[in-house]
């Protein structure tokens, strides 16, 4: 008698076994159904639903969008694509000459107003935040994009992490993001109250480094994981004020921070990444189990979805693979530095 036949015989003789089998069957159907629903939601979010209309955030009505880390890479592209949607801009970054170049370019090309503010956010100077408040307090702001961020120069063991690098990462990724949001969010609330029809939006750049615990990038990984919980909590707090809050998760993007120059299926350029982000604002895409979180670029979303549905982001096997990947990156970076030193 086969195992299945034995099980059927036992079920026919015992109500308990029969009930247990029905529970197992029901649980299996439930899991398959929820997986199917999550898969369909993923496909609709990424490929089938139309682009988000930013008129609900006041596009083209004289409202402002604040972008931090705006002079290069992803931040510069956020500023450009928000300008294309008809937002005036407040762009904040370290290099004044780059900001002034963007101001001239955007005002001429998109017929908008651009305010610039140059500062070194890593300095954690109280006067920085006073300047931001002074510049922004009388502007009709409806969107804040917390893009500024810093990672390690190369993967490094936590116990060998330079203290200055460690402090800069926490200051830029966490302290500055929180304090700038405390300044801008009340202005967004006031703008919405006065205009009555608009919604507000706060986007904060997260990372797969925060989604998945990342050995050899421990401080950066922790700083981005902090932003996940903070942003989700803020989304709950501000939902009644008509302000949408979302953490944006990304894998690698070609940028100065990632030190990657070539695009691929898994590595978009800033233009591609930002376009996918703004197209899907408010949709989870690959972040199916996370509130107020989106993984907008299609290959990143599929990658996260597969990890979530198989091993899980906190599993030992994923941690081990991540460790091995970043150890190899560190070895290559040290070899490259050694070659440069010889020259």
Annotated binding site for substrate: 207
Name the maximum alpha-carbon separation found in the chain.
83
- By CB atoms closer than 10 A (0-12, 13-18, 19+), residue 343 is exposed
Q: Does the active-site annotation cover 64? A: no
**Whole-number Å distance between alpha carbons of 67 and 85:** 14
Task: Spot the catalytic one: 220, 251, 291, 303.
Answer: 220
The per-residue b/e assignment along 100-136, b for 16 or more CB within 10 angstroms, e otherwise, is eebbeebeeebebebbbbbbebbebeeebbeebbebb
Feature table: binding site: 207
Q: What are phi and psi of 303, to 5 degrees?
A: -60, -50
CA 237 from centre of chain? 19
3-class DSSP assignment, residue 201? strand
**Whole-number Å distance between alpha carbons of 99 and 40:** 42
The per-residue b/e assignment along 203-220, b for 16 or more CB within 10 angstroms, e otherwise, is bbbbbbbbbbbbbbbbbb
**Whole-number Å distance between alpha carbons of 203 and 279:** 13
For the annotated catalytic residues, the residue numbers are 220
């Amino acid at each position: 008698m086969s195992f299945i036949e034995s099980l059927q015989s036992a079920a026919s003789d015992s109500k308990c076994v029969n009930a247990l089998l029905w529970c197992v069957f029901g649980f299996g159907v439930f899991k398959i159904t929820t997986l199917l629903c999550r898969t369909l939601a993923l496909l609709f979010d990424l490929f089938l639903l139309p682009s988000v209309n930013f008129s609900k955030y006041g596009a083209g009505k004289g409202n402002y969008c604040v972008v931090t880390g705006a002079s290069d890479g992803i931040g510069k592209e956020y500023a450009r694509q928000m300008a294309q949607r008809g937002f005036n801009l407040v762009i904040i970054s370290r290099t004044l000459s780059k900001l002034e170049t963007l101001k001239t370019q955007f005002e001429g090309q998109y017929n908008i107003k651009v305010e610039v503010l140059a500062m070194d956010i890593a300095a954690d100077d109280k006067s920085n935040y006073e300047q931001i408040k002074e510049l922004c307090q009388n502007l009709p702001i409806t969107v804040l994009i917390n893009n500024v961020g810093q990672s390690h120069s190369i993967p490094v063991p936590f116990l060998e992490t330079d203290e200055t690098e460690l402090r800069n990462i926490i200051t830029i990724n966490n302290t500055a993001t929180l304090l700038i949001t405390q300044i801008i969010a009340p202005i967004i609330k006031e703008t919405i109250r006065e205009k009555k029809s608009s919604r507000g939006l706060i986007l904060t750049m997260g990372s797969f480094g925060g989604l998945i615990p990342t050995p050899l990038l421990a401080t950066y990984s922790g700083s981005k994981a902090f932003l996940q919980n903070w942003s989700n909590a803020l989304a709950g707090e501000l939902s009644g004020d008509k302000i949408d809050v979302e953490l944006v998760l990304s894998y690698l993007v070609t940028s100065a921070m990632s030190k990657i120059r070539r695009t691929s299926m898994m590595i978009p350029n800033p233009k591609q990444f930002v376009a996918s982000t703004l197209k899907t604002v408010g949709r989870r895409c690959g972040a199916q189990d996370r509130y107020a979180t989106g993984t907008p670029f299609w290959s990143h979303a599929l990658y996260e979805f597969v990890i979530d549905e198989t091993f899980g982001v906190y599993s030992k096997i994923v941690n081990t693979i991540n460790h091995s990947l970043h150890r190899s990156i560190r070895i290559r970076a040290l070899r490259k530095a050694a070659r440069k030193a010889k020259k």
